[in-house]
Amino acid sequence: MTSVKLYVYDLSQGMAKQMSMGLTGRQIDGIWHTSVVVFGQEYYYGQGIMNSLPGTTPHGRPIQVIDMGETHLTEEIFIEYLNSISSEFTAAKYHLLDFNCNTFTNDICQFLTGANIPAHITDLPADFLNTPFGQSLRPMIENMFGPSTHATPNLPMQPQSAPSQSSISMLNNVSSAALSASPATANPIQTIQNGASLESLIKSQRGVLAFFTSATCPPCKMIEPDFVRKLETINQDRIKVVGAKIDTQVAFDAAQRYEVRATPTFIAFVDGKKFAQFSGANFAELNSTVDLMVFTMYPPHCHRKLNLRAVLKITGDPILFTNAGNLDNILKKLLSFLEEDNITLSETEMRTLKNAKIAVDNRLQNEVSELDVKAWDDLLITLTSKLPIDHQFPLLDIFRSLLLVREVGNYYTHDCKNIAKFIDTAASQDVKKPTLLMTLRLICNAFAHPVLARTHFSSSLPDSHRTAATNLLIKALLSEDATVRQTASSLAFNFSCVTAKDRLDCEASGESPRDDEDWEVEVVSAVVSALEKESEGEIVYRLVSTLSKFLFLAPSTSPVPSLVSILDIQAAIKDKQSLATGTIDKNKITSLAREIDELVQASLQNMDN
């Protein structure tokens, strides 16, 4: 077990405590910034998710350290979780009132320990806005960070004076501190004061476009707005090309180093080396140079050159089993098994079971329920230890519907060992169809929560349960029962959705996809084997869709395209086209088969090159 600490800082550096009573009419002791210390690092949110050695962040020394408990999770699982939420906690999404450092630490603490950070910290924005002074500063805050989703409180009408210079100064200081420690690349355009700064930037960034200008150059003033616009556009998702604005009369050593004798002059650098140079206010050349830089640094995947209408039309959402069925009958069946097996529930346990049914009912009606998830999890432990395996399917049926409730999914993201027990049992033992089917639906519904699915069921980390889930998948794909095979094909598709999303995210960030080649080969082999034997059109379509997702954007080193080519999947799919019925028509399977062949051929050709 590892301790989890919450570090609390005052972004106002004491100004809020001194000024709040006079300005707001209530005491506000600080403008709180928090970070989480775990596994020897301090994690916080400003310009994205950041970390430092504890106590070494730009925020100084914490004014309070709160013990949030202990976590049973490993550092590897935690890092995997951070990677999975990094696309949400970006610099662009930061908002002082709505989505800030405390939002991040609260999510982290819930994941690690199941506990929330203190309410007085998370409630501060609403408390602040619920004052006339807060309302007077709101336009300034929204001008800095964008509109706030906090509802405007109904305050009594009273004259409001303009914010004082001291309060404006405090707001600026707080905003600056909130976004402190921003990396140099946070701003896509930087002003360079000397040659050493330019050299440092060129060495530290993959792409740099140096704009040599001067205050007395009319063409420079004409092209500068285009320069700014182009870099803002190209860097919308992430920093790809950093702009360096160099006044030759200030950073004369930089101009001398690159023999710049006229302005405007643009010099492009890629991976530390000079890439291109041109002079003059030529937007067409500026535009093409930046595009060519990005293409060179981040060449598009060979699959992006293909016309893949059928593949790209396939949803990226997992297949979930949202129909709860007749809950009254399911509950009656479970109670009859309890009676048959001489199992008596306490009054508290019976109330928890009924509350679980209510929670599912409320989800179906888009209403919020207050189920004690810990009590439900304890009940699971009790019942699975007493009920015979083949009598557990009504319990699993309730559980798989309950897992679609957001709060339940969040709980099992923190600790999913009881879900894993069901999977281990179904994968390793000879269970009857109802129990096997409900276990498959349970794990499929786990994919409603991306972090839960990614961290615990599709990760290669040692503490992941992916091996058991994969064993269950392979076993179920070979079942003689069509309903089991169809559910197994849904699980295979869900696995491919996680892989596909990971590749899309890596494509957007310029990172390399995680190395899961052995696992992908194992799953694809099982899918191909199942496809060769399959006689149901719906299942064929899901399996073919799964293959297309495992192939699309596969890394150049992936063995999956070669495997699919060797196994001659085209022949297998062609034999199955006659099975298409209903909504899965022959054209869908035919189109996917053709595009799978294009994916394979493009990958193989790319490997040869």
Asked if 115 and 139 touch (Cβ cutoff 8 Å), the reply is no
Residue 109 annotated as catalytic: no
Strands 48-52 and 41-46: antiparallel
CA-based nearest residue to 290, from 262, 266, 265: 266
Order the strands of the 64-71 sheet from edge to edge.
48-52, 41-46, 32-38, 2-10, 64-71
Give the separation between CA 551 and CA 559, rounded to whole angstroms.
Answer: 10
Structure token digits, residue 479: 């079942």
Structure token digits, residue 563: 């495997």
Asked if 223 and 283 touch (Cβ cutoff 8 Å), the reply is yes
Instruction: Work out whether the CA dihedral 97, 98, 101, 107 comes out positive or negative.
Output: positive
Q: Cβ atoms within 10 A of the Cβ of 234, count?
A: 20
Active-site residue, selected from the candidate residues 59, 72, 95, 101 = 101
Residue 220 annotated as catalytic: no
Give the separation between CA 271 and CA 205, rounded to whole angstroms.
Answer: 7
> Measured in whole angstroms, how far is the alpha carbon of residue 339 from the centre of its chain?
45
Q: Cβ atoms within 10 A of the Cβ of 606, count?
A: 14
Query: Cα–Cα distances in Å, from 528 out to 481, 494, 540, 562, 563?
Result: 18, 16, 10, 13, 10
Location of structure tokens 């050159």? 305
Location of structure tokens 């199942």? 530
Give the separation between CA 459 and CA 472, rounded to whole angstroms.
Answer: 16
| Helix, strand or coil, per DSSP, at residue 517 | helix
Give the Cα-Cα-Cα angle 324, 326, 331 (nearest 5 degrees): 100
Give the separation between CA 37 and CA 112, rounded to whole angstroms.
Answer: 11
Structure token digits, residue 103: 């939002």
Asked if 46 and 11 touch (Cβ cutoff 8 Å), the reply is no
Structure token digits, residue 215: 């205050």
Location of structure tokens 């022959």? 586
CA-based nearest residue to 212, from 155, 271, 260: 260
Asked if 527 and 547 touch (Cβ cutoff 8 Å), the reply is yes
Instruction: Work out whether the CA dihedral 355, 361, 364, 366 comes out positive or negative.
Output: negative
Q: HSE of 179 in the Cβ direction (CA atoms, 13 Å)?
A: 21
Rg (CA), the chain: 29
Asked if 437 and 487 touch (Cβ cutoff 8 Å), the reply is yes
Q: What is the 3-state secondary structure (H, E, C) of 230-255?
A: HHHHHCCCCCCCEEEEEECCCCHHHH
Asked if 542 and 531 touch (Cβ cutoff 8 Å), the reply is no
Question: Known catalytic residues?
Answer: 33, 101
